[in-house]
Homo-oligomer: A and B are copies of this chain.
Amino acid sequence: MVKDSIAPEVVILRLPLYIRALSQMSEEGQTVISSKTLGNRLQITPAQIRKDLSYFGRFGKQGRGYKVDSLIEELTNILGLNKQWNSCIVGVGRLGKAIINYPGFVPEGFKIISAFDNDPSLIGKTVNEIQILPMDEIKSAVKQNDIKIAILAVPSTVAQNVITELLNTNIKAILNYAPIAPKVPETLVLRNIDPVISLQSMTYYLD
């Protein structure tokens, strides 16, 4: 991890889900909610929610519930989501192109600024107004554009090598779409997007 956390990682993983659910509830017109109501929505126990939030101080008063909008704001600040995070994509094949065109990132503050690939037939072309650069320009482009996050959409066979290259840049977080479990040093944060793993974790319940 890039910084020491006061809360376990499993708690940090839940906070975005709290923000998502609270935002839905706010849109539905709810202004104050209990940990029980939030827990019902997320299928998490109220005790777990209270414990998770307790890492970050006091939210709401015993028995009075949480103010929805101020809890959203505080969680947003805790996660550092009150700013734009410049990102880049590495690998501009079919998946990479779909990710660049995905409309869900920008409204949440994640903007893909640069794209990198080693395929000579792609370099210099643009996808959604983003020019594809060769990999040997990644270090300078990442620095110049204050990019901290790389989205990895390369084949599994090269993913680990690409991560090694990223260690020499200012990239601190990787969202990995390659279906492998790459090794990263503790100075990097990694999340894997892996639909096959998700599918494989459901079939147990179907037999």
Contact = CB atoms under 8 A, between A and B. Distances in A.
Interface of A: 1-3, 5, 12-13, 15-17, 19-21, 24, 41-42, 78-81, 85, 87, 94-95, 98-99, 101-102, 104-105, 108, 110, 148-149, 151, 172-173, 175, 179-181, 183, 189, 191, 193, 195-207
Contacts of A197: 16-17, 20
Given A94-B98, A207-B3, A207-B80, A149 B179 contact: no
A179 B15 contact: no
Given A206-B80, A206-B173, A149 B21 contact: no
A105 B196 contact: yes
B205 A2 contact: yes
Contacts of A85: 199, 203, 206
Contacts of A205: 1-3, 5, 12, 172-173, 189
Contacts of A151: 195
Contacts of A180: 20, 24
Contacts of A195: 99, 102, 104-105, 151, 175, 193
A201 B202 CA distance: 23
Contacts of A206: 2-3, 80, 85, 148-149, 172-173, 189
20 contacts: A2-B205, A3-B205, A12-B204, A13-B201, A15-B200, A21-B181, A41-B183, A78-B204, A80-B206, A104-B196, A105-B195, A108-B196, A108-B199, A108-B200, A151-B195, A173-B205, A173-B206, A175-B202, A191-B201, A193-B193
Contacts of A87: 199
A149 B183 CA distance: 31
Contacts of A148: 206
